[in-house]
Amino acid sequence: LVPRSTKFYAERSFTQSSYRYLLPIEWILPSIDDSDNGTRRSDEMSQMEEWWKHVAAQSSSTSQRKHQPRSGGQGQSMSSPDSPQFIKRLKQSLKATESETVPNRRSRRQAAANEKSKTNTANDSSNIDLDSDEYTNNDSSPIRLAPGRFGQLWRKRRRCWSNFAHPQLTGMASSPGHEAVWRTMDRARIVGFVDLQNNDNDDGGSERDSPNDTSTLRNMHIVLEFRADGFVVGQIPRVISALVAMTNGWIPQNFFDVATRPDAYIPSKNTAPPFLDKRLYFHTARYHFHELTGNGDENFAKTIHTESESEQNWEADLRKRLMGGATSSMNRKEEDSWLAELRDLVSPELRQLIQTFETDSIEDH
């Protein structure tokens, strides 16, 4: 075995980092000014009120961080309300940002055998050689994996995030030919809900206002978490913009498939105004190899776990300070203006670009 290096650099040695984002629920609800969506908004708001109370009750439970079975099990409610449609759409959009895990040869052979047994024909259309570890996309370009990562994370497919780089990154820093823009998004998920008006940790207080109230709605946020092997500067705010547009149905669900292709160029416009950064904060980093080979170094282990009560309190205080300047009337006007521009100007252009790119790809083949 190769001995573990005694040198440790926090910024260069991490194997996974995660950021969290406070997404206002109001951003992904149907527009109140859109007459076509008026009925759908009213229905989803009513559904959200019942669902939000259920989430608040669960958050107040002392066993909220313990494992709960998915079905059955004593103490688990079997009549929990279904998630609102906008939450389901958000989960689908988050899933679209994640990197797929490419199966190994054994899994590919098994899948090919199952497919062959169903169709009784050879799988000649497969773009993966069953006898090698060479992978290609539909356009015959090689699939980039993540060698050197821990466990099965190395089989995560790297995607090109150059279209999501900050505009100030020019030249090779934001070029598809630069290795730094090829990253894997390991996980994008909802990790919590907070009501900044009543309680930062949403303890389900009895004096909670109805979510149908406009002022209360402004304070309701979804906590999103993004885990990756690294991020391009400016990536997450632009991902948030795309998620908002995708969840609202303004751009198609295959947007990330097209936008992360190295041969696709999407002009950078005002999709991520500066106020989007105010809701973003770094959460934690993982050091898988050091965690497993620390030889019982408890001091190191204690620095990487972020579930202690003191750190939860610190995170709640951080959220409060982050949102202190993000809820002013001026910022809310900026948000409304940005959402209108995203819906009426940016999204139609993105749809046209995606359609043009797909048409050109079909013609090339």
Closest CA to 145 of 98, 99, 97: 99
Closest CA to 222 of 31, 88, 30: 88
How far apart are alpha carbons 92 and 100 in whole angstroms? 14
Cβ neighbours of residue 88 closer than 8 Å, sequence gap 6 or more = none
| Identity at 330, one-letter amino acid code | M
| Mean per-residue pLDDT, 104-126 | 64
Cβ neighbours of residue 360 closer than 8 Å, sequence gap 6 or more = none
Positive or negative CA dihedral for 54, 50, 251, 218? negative
Q: Is the pLDDT of residue 178 over 80?
A: yes
Q: 190 by DSSP, 3-state: which?
A: strand
Residue with tokens 């521009």: 341
Which token pair is 9?
Answer: 């650099």
Which token pair is 62?
Answer: 């002392």
Asked if residue 157 lies in contact with residue 145, where contact means CB atoms within 8 angstroms, the answer is yes
| Mean per-residue pLDDT, 165-172 | 84
Q: Is the pLDDT of residue 238 over 80?
A: yes
| Mean per-residue pLDDT, 345-351 | 92
The DSSP element (H or E) to which 45 belongs, if any, is helix 38-59
Percent of the chain with pLDDT over 90: 26
Banded model confidence at residue 211, pLDDT cuts 50, 70, 90 = low
Q: Is the pLDDT of residue 247 over 90?
A: yes
How far apart are alpha carbons 262 and 230 in whole angstroms? 18
Banded model confidence at residue 77, pLDDT cuts 50, 70, 90 = very low
Q: Is the pLDDT of residue 217 over 50?
A: yes
How far apart are alpha carbons 16 and 156 in whole angstroms? 12
Residue 358, burial from CB neighbour count under 10 angstroms (0-12, 13-18, 19+): middle
Closest CA to 14 of 257, 289, 313, 312: 289
Cβ neighbours of residue 4 closer than 8 Å, sequence gap 6 or more = 289, 290, 293
Closest CA to 175 of 265, 98, 86, 83: 265
Top-confidence residue, 130 or 153: 153
Which token pair is 317?
Answer: 């205080």
Percent of the chain with pLDDT over 70: 64
How far apart are alpha carbons 54 and 56 in whole angstroms? 5
Which pLDDT value is given to residue 245? Answer: 94
